[in-house]
Structure 1
Amino acid sequence: MMSQKQILCVEDEAAIVLPLRYALEREGWQVSWANTGTQALLLLSQQTFDFIILDVGLPDLNGFEVCKQLRQKYQTPLLFLTARDDEIDRVVGLEIGADDYCSKPFSAREIVARIKAIWRRMEVQSHNVASHAQISQTEIVIQSATWSCNPQSLQIQYHGQSLQLTRYEYRLLLLLIQHPEQVFNRQQLMDHIWEHPEHSLERTVDTHIKSLRQKLKQITPHDPIRTHRGFGYSLVKYEK
């Protein structure tokens, strides 16, 4: 059911928001409007949303910065709006956790279609993860002195401490933990983890590995991720 979905639209131009809001509400969705990044982050702390539409060019915080901050706490699917059609902007947006990207001008119908497509994709992935867990739960649940993770709880602990991970950081680390010492090249990692690898670049993987390493080093200086130059990454063997 698509009804009663809660959508947060973060856009400072009323001329863009009003027709878009009308189209979204015609789908039976509830729409909240924030015209600054600060207001958006405040609303996110007070309410749960099913989708976020986020303009890059906000009057206070850059949309990319807002995305980085919210991805530290929330995994809500997100679509960027921008007045620029620059590939670099699109790549940056996807790297920091956006699910899609739409350049202005756009039609409200296109935004509705993109939102529905993202929700359908997420439902399929959730079903696949649940089916995999049901079939081979003992294979994917990890409990060791180093790592503790269960895909059903979407939590990973490193040396007993819970990690605050973005959606793609979580998927990337979980895959490496489930296959210690197996070397994955960048394309394999994108195909396994990203919802739309065809929209991304290989450096996307490098960006997320760097972020993961920073979070792991806050717990212990030992780096469990190995870099295989010119190829990809693996996780050091740990005691199971």
Structure 2
Amino acid sequence: MSYLLVVEDEAAIRQLLVDYLQQAGHEVKAVERGDDALAQIREAAPELVLLDVMLPGVDGLEVCRQVREFSHVPVIFLTARHDEIDRIVGLRLGADDYIVKPFSPREVVARVEAMLRRSRWYTEVAAKAPELGLHLNISDYQAFWGEQLLDLTPVEFRLLAALQEHPGRVYRRDELIDVAYDDHRIVSDRTVDSHIKNLRHKLHAAGAEEVIQAVYGVGYRYLL
């Protein structure tokens, strides 16, 4: 049984999500305000958060930004915004997925369970490139450059683990999409580029050189 947090200010939608997730065997807590969500995430450490964007108190984008300052919990946005740029903004703030309203509650349950499976996928500790100072703690989703902990989202961690597993290999963007999302959704190249940009920035801030190289027109590779 997983402990999930639903953050949604529309009572009917909130209850619908709670009902379906509970029927799927999950323990669910629901709140309707962004500030209450932040308090709940700090206190109870849910395994996954379903987060509406438009919320009273503190909006979902700001909730996600603040959560990424202290937690790597997977965050799935619920949004009525259909424009790609809105979704990219959410991903850049650290969200791992998004679901556009109106949605099928069965799809939400499927997305949640796919995300939970990915979060539990890594069960061993890997240290693939000690000469570069990179250490991946797979079971805890932690990445270190030297002794510095990298503040990565789960999606960023999965991308880094895949790239670093085969140094020098060029991964196409569609292959990286499959690493990050195993539910066969349609995700644009710009989404992958956004995640990689964030990942490279965090590595550089920790003192790493350009260890992730873009291969024009193809994708990315991790350098030895």
Q: Do both share a fold (TM > 0.5)?
A: yes
Q: Does the aligned pair in 1 maintain the 2:16–2:105 contact within 8 Å?
A: no
Aligned with residue 142 of structure 1, among 122, 128, 132: 128
Aligned with residue 206 of structure 1, among 179, 193, 198: 193
* 1:54 partner SS: strand
In the TM superposition, residue 113 of structure 1 has moved relative to its aligned partner by 5.2
Alignment: residue pair count: 222
* 1:227 partner SS: strand
Once the two structures are overlaid, the 10-residue window that deviates more, 67-76 or 180-189, is 67-76
Structure 2 residue 6 is the aligned partner of structure 1 residue 9? yes
**Alignment match, 1:183:** 170
**Alignment match, 2:35:** 38
**Alignment match, 1:114:** 108
Once the two structures are overlaid, the 10-residue window that deviates more, 81-90 or 205-214, is 81-90
Structure 2 residue 223 is the aligned partner of structure 1 residue 236? yes
Superposition TM-score, scaled by structure 1 size: 0.74
Q: Does the aligned pair in 2 maintain the 1:50–1:76 contact within 8 Å?
A: yes
* 2:5 partner SS: strand
Q: Does the aligned pair in 1 maintain the 2:6–2:17 contact within 8 Å?
A: no
Q: Does the aligned pair in 2 maintain the 1:51–1:76 contact within 8 Å?
A: yes
Distance, in Å, in 2 between the alignment partners of 1:18 and 1:170 is: 32
Task: Return the index of the structure with the highest Cα Rg.
Answer: 1
In the TM superposition, residue 54 of structure 1 has moved relative to its aligned partner by 1.2
Distance, in Å, in 1 between the alignment partners of 2:4 and 2:196 is: 30
* 1:12 partner SS: coil
**Alignment match, 1:163:** 150
Aligned with residue 139 of structure 2, among 149, 152, 156: 152
* 1:66 partner SS: helix
Percent of aligned pairs sharing the same letter: 34
Q: After superposition, what is the alpha-carbon deviation per residue over 1:175-229, rounded to whole angstroms, capped at 9, x for unaligned? A: 2222222222222222233334533111122111211122122222632222222
Q: After superposition, what is the alpha-carbon deviation per residue over 1:90-135, rounded to whole angstroms, capped at 9, x for unaligned? A: 455456433340403x5xxx425522553256437845x55xx6xx
Distance, in Å, in 1 between the alignment partners of 2:204 and 2:151 is: 13
Q: 1:54 to 1:172 in 2, by over 3 A?
A: same
Distance, in Å, in 2 between the alignment partners of 1:98 and 1:45 is: 19
| 1:58-97 aligned within 5 A | 58-90=55-87, 92-93=89-90, 96-97=94-95
Distance, in Å, in 1 between the alignment partners of 2:184 and 2:15 is: 33
Q: After superposition, what is the alpha-carbon deviation per residue over 1:73-96, rounded to whole angstroms, capped at 9, x for unaligned? A: 434344332334445444554564
Distance, in Å, in 2 between the alignment partners of 1:125 and 1:48 is: 14
Structure 2 residue 170 is the aligned partner of structure 1 residue 173? no
Q: Does the aligned pair in 2 maintain the 1:38–1:60 contact within 8 Å?
A: yes
**Alignment match, 1:215:** 202
In the TM superposition, residue 27 of structure 1 has moved relative to its aligned partner by 5.5
Q: 1:33 to 1:149 in 2, by over 3 A?
A: closer
Q: 1:157 to 1:63 in 2, by over 3 A?
A: same
Once the two structures are overlaid, the 10-residue window that deviates more, 220-229 or 78-87, is 78-87
Superposition TM-score, scaled by structure 2 size: 0.79
**Alignment match, 1:99:** 97
